[in-house]
Every structure is written in structure tokens, then in C-alpha cells.
């Protein structure tokens, strides 16, 4: 490591330590518990006794989230201090994983991005538990070449908070079945023991209205400045629209979610059927695009949700080759605007402040732009097989694996046939097959047998 890299790394850690210390001190200040106080109540009444608070309408999480609320109660110190420290620890894990990706031939841009994104969101980043599924998601993206482990980590993240299922859209061809199976096994292992509580989870989520911060609610927030007679009410732990035509925002949001899911599935179908090309950067890039789509379409857009997109964007940049730079920068801008909305201008926004309504509209516009940029970059990089740009290239890892099998099976495959297959693959796909895989000649006895067979 050169002195320049050492200096940059020292600066990075200095900024990280300073910003995280500030977040910890502010988040653990007296009378500023926020949602952590709710988590503490759940721990005291239910989780410490081995039960989920399923009867509470504010409990809207998969069973795996209970671990994030249970663990601080068993750590030294008070609950609030332990919870914030646990979230800072997960933040540290994300930073270390991004730096590890840079050392493996990636870029430090990912770790710099993450170091800046967390303080841009403010104390919300460490007083909510969303950094836990972010850490699991970044770990899954770092193991794109191991579908079983990647799938298990995706399943663990989805068992804590559902959104990491979007990472399945980035599973490489040939790895889909193992990834899906591993994710399903982990989700089932976590959720089946608490199957009786899943009905209340679905019911509480279904009963929620459009949050004032959501993209679908943006026209009503603008209309509110022009005299919309509706109001903002507190339900299910969030501020929601209530009044004439507010149901239209909810219906539009649900329709947008269905369309987003269909669009992602249609794109995957084109890739899986060979009508579109798979690229090496897609395991990280595609989950970011899918997550941004669902954030834009969701009727619920709490401020901590920006942490999801920021974590995935950092993972994209850490690979050193990504199509998502424009989307990542737009996401970073949206993250900074989010803190201006919540917590800085929250009560003024609810009171009808024109300035903070404009900031909210700008934040949502930037987030929509990020989703559009992300999807356009993915589609532009996905060359159709019939576009005149050449045939779709296979996953290079899959080609290499097949060639390794040929090398390992050289004692059973006639040399002439093996050489013909390898030569055909080398001619069809511009990958360094034989030389990089060190395909050794068959033993003398095998060569004699080959000559006899030929």
C-alpha cells in the first residue's frame, strides 16, 4: 500500500470516527429517544418474555426484526445507549466490507460514499434498525460468486425487513435456483415458528395509508398549499394523509408496486431466456435499481428507507465497475434533503410550511430521477440478442466452471473430443479459457488410449 493510499485511509477513518461519535452523542442525549423508546417498550413487555408484540399496530416487521430489539436489552448499559452502539457497530461492519471490496480490486469510492451518506441522514441512521438489513445486504453483494451463502444472507435480511428480497433480482444466471432455495430456507426457519403472528403483520401493513413523505402523496402535499381540505393524521406509527381523494394516492401506489414488480420480473425473464445480456456488474447494480423502483412506488417512505439505497449504491461503487454512478449521486442528494425534511423541518412540514413542502417535493423529485437513471443505465447495458451488437455473452464464471470440469475429467474424456470442445468455446466466447485454467495434458497412458480411440 502506497503512502497516498495510507493517507487517504487515515482521513477516511478520521471522518468516520468524528461523524459517528457525533451521531452517538446526539442520539443518546436525554429526552431524544424517538423510536428507540418504542423498541424498549416492546422489549420490556414482550420480547424479554419470548413473545412478539403482534397486537401492537405499530409492530409491522418480520419476526427476525425482534433480534435487533432483543439484543440491546442484554448488552451492558442502558437500552438506548446499547441500541445506538449496536447500530454504529453494524455501520462499522458495512464500512469494513466496502474497504475489503476495494482491497480485492475494487474502489474506495464505496467506503467514501457510505461514510458520507450516514451523517447526511442524521441520527435517523442509528436510531432505527435499518442498518442491520443493510449490513446483511452488503455482505450478500460481496459474495456474489457464492450463490448459497448469498441467498442465505438475503433470506436473513428479508427476515429482518422485507426489502432485501430485491437482491434476488441480481442473482447471476446459473445461480438462481441455489440462491432462491437458500433464501427460502432461511426465511422459513425464521418465520415459521412465529407463523401465528404473520397475519397481524399483513393486516397492519394493509391498513396503513399513504405517508406524507411518499412520492404518491406529493401531489396532495402540493395541493395542500392551494387549499386541499384534507388533514394529516398519526396512524400506525406514521403521519398519513386523510381526507377527500386521499385513497387515490394509496391506490396509485399499490398499482405502481405491482407494475414495478412486473417490470423487474420481465427483465429477469429476458435475461434467463437469453434475450438480454448479463453483465458482471449486475449482481450489485440491479438490486439498487429494483430497490429505488420500490421506494418510489411505496406508499410508505420513512426517512430511514434512504439508508437502503445508500448502502446498495455504496456496494455498487465499491466494485470498481458499475453503471450506477449517476443514480448513486442522485441518491446521495436525496439522502441529504431527507434530513432537512426529518427531523429538522418535520413539525413545520406537518403544520403546512411552504418552504419545507418545497424541500419534500424536491427530495421526491430527486429520488424519482435516481430510479429513472438507475433503470435506464441497466437497460442500456443490457444488449438484446437481436440488436445487432452480437450474440448474448454467457456468464464467464459459468464458462470457466465448465472448463474446469473438463480439466478435472480429462482422464475420462477423449483428448480429441475435449480439445474440440475447448477450441469451440474459445472461438465463440472471447475468454482466456485454456491458458488461464491451466489445462494440463493428459497422462501418457491416457494419450495412448486417446490415440487408440481416435
> How far apart (Å, rounded) are the C-alpha atoms in residues 305 and 328?
15
**Grid coordinates 457464492 are at which residue?**
146
Average pLDDT over residues 312-335: 97
pTM: 0.85
pLDDT digits (tens, 9 = 90+) for 101-151: 999 999 999 999 999 999 999 999 999 999 999 999 999 999 988 999 999
Q: How much is the pLDDT for 423?
A: 58
Q: How far is CA 67 from CA 64, 70, 138, 164, 168, in A?
A: 6, 5, 19, 17, 23
- What residue has cell string 429505488? 292
What is the spatial distance between Cα 317 and Cα 336, in angstroms, rounded to a whole number?
Answer: 19
Which run of H or of E encompasses 276? none
Regarding predicted confidence, which is higher, 42 or 423? 42
Tell me the sheet residues that pair with 242.
231
If you count DSSP H runs as helices and E runs as strands, how many of each does the chain have, helices first? 21, 2
- Return all residues near 16 (Cβ < 8 A) that are at least 6 apart: 95, 115
Closest CA to 438 of 403, 411, 409: 403
pLDDT tens for each residue of 202-229: 887 888 889 999 999 999 999 999 999 9
382: its cell numbers: 443490457
pLDDT the model gives residue 93: 98
What are 49-101's pLDDT values in tens digits? 999 998 898 898 999 999 999 999 999 989 999 999 999 999 999 999 999 99
- Between the CA atoms of 366, 336, 127 and 219, what dihedral angle is there, to the nearest 10 degrees? -40
User: Which cell goes with 11?
Assistant: 482521513
> Rounded to an integer, what distance in angstroms lies between the CA atom of residue 189 and that of residue 67?
14
Quick: pLDDT tens for 328-373: 999 999 999 999 999 999 999 999 999 999 999 999 999 999 999 9
How many Cβ atoms sit within 10 Å of the Cβ of residue 8? Answer: 15
Q: Which helix (H) or strand (E) holds 240?
A: strand 238-242
Residue with grid cell 430485491, as numbered in its chain: 166
Strands (E), 303-441: none
For residues 320 and 314, give the distance between their C-alpha atoms in angstroms, rounded to a whole number: 11
Contact at 8 Å (CB) between 88 and 125?
A: no
> With contact defined as beta carbons under 8 Å apart, do 89 and 134 qualify?
no
Amino acid at each position: 500500500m502506497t503512502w497516498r493510499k495510507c493517507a487517504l485511509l487515515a482521513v477516511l477513518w478520521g471522518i468516520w470516527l468524528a461523524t459517528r461519535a457525533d451521531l452517538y452523542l446526539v442520539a443518546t442525549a436525554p429526552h431524544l429517544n424517538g423510536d428507540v423508546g418504542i423498541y424498549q417498550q416492546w422489549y420490556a413487555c414482550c420480547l424479554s418474555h419470548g413473545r412478539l408484540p403482534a397486537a401492537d399496530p405499530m409492530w409491522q416487521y418480520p419476526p427476525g426484526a425482534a433480534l435487533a430489539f432483543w439484543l440491546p436489552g442484554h448488552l451492558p448499559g442502558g437500552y438506548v445507549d446499547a441500541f445506538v452502539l449496536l447500530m454504529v457497530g453494524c455501520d462499522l461492519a458495512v464500512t469494513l466490507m466496502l474497504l475489503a471490496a476495494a482491497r480485492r480490486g475494487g474502489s474506495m469510492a464505496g467506503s467514501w460514499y457510505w461514510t458520507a451518506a450516514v451523517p447526511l441522514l442524521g441520527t435517523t441512521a442509528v436510531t432505527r434498525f435499518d442498518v442491520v438489513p443493510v449490513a446483511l445486504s452488503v455482505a450478500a453483494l460481496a459474495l456474489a460468486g457464492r450463490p448459497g451463502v448469498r441467498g442465505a444472507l438475503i433470506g436473513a435480511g428479508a427476515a429482518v425487513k422485507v426489502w432485501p428480497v430485491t437482491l434476488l433480482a441480481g442473482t447471476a444466471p446459473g445461480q438462481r435456483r441455489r440462491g432462491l432455495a437458500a433464501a427460502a430456507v432461511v426465511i422459513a426457519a425464521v418465520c415459521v415458528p412465529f407463523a401465528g403472528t404473520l397475519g397481524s403483520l399483513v393486516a397492519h401493513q394493509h391498513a396503513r395509508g399513504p405517508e406524507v413523505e411518499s412520492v404518491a402523496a406529493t401531489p396532495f402535499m402540493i395541493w395542500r398549499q392551494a387549499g386541499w381540505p384534507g388533514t394529516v393524521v398519526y396512524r400506525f406509527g406514521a403521519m398519513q394523509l386523510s381526507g377527500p381523494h386521499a385513497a387515490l394516492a394509496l391506490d396509485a401506489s399499490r398499482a405502481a408496486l405491482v407494475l414495478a414488480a412486473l417490470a423487474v420480473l420481465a427483465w429477469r425473464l429476458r435475461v434467463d431466456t437469453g434475450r438480454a445480456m448479463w453483465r458482471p456488474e449486475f449482481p450489485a447494480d440491479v438490486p439498487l435499481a429494483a430497490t429505488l423502483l420500490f421506494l418510489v412506488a411505496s406508499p410508505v417512505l420513512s426517512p430511514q428507507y434512504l439508508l437502503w439505497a445508500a448502502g446498495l449504491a455504496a456496494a455498487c461503487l465499491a466494485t470498481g465497475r458499475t453503471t450506477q454512478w449517476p443514480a448513486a449521486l442522485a441518491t446521495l442528494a436525496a439522502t441529504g434533503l431527507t434530513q432537512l425534511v426529518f427531523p429538522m423541518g418535520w413539525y413545520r412540514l406537518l403544520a403546512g410550511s411552504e418552504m419545507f413542502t418545497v424541500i419534500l417535493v424536491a427530495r421526491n423529485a430527486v429520488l424519482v430521477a435516481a430510479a429513472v437513471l438507475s433503470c435506464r443505465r441497466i437497460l442500456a447495458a443490457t444488449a438484446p440478442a437481436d440488436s445487432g451488437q452480437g450474440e448474448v455473452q454467457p456468464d464467464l464464471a459459468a464458462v470457466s466452471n465448465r472448463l474446469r470440469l473438463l480439466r478435472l475429467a480429462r482422464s475420462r474424456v477423449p483428448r480429441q473430443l475435449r480439445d474440440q470442445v475447448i477450441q469451440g468455446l474459445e472461438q465463440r466466447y472471447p475468454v482466456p479459457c485454456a491458458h488461464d485454467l491451466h489445462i494440463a495434458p493428459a497422462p501418457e497412458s491416457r494419450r495412448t488410449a486417446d490415440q487408440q480411440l481416435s
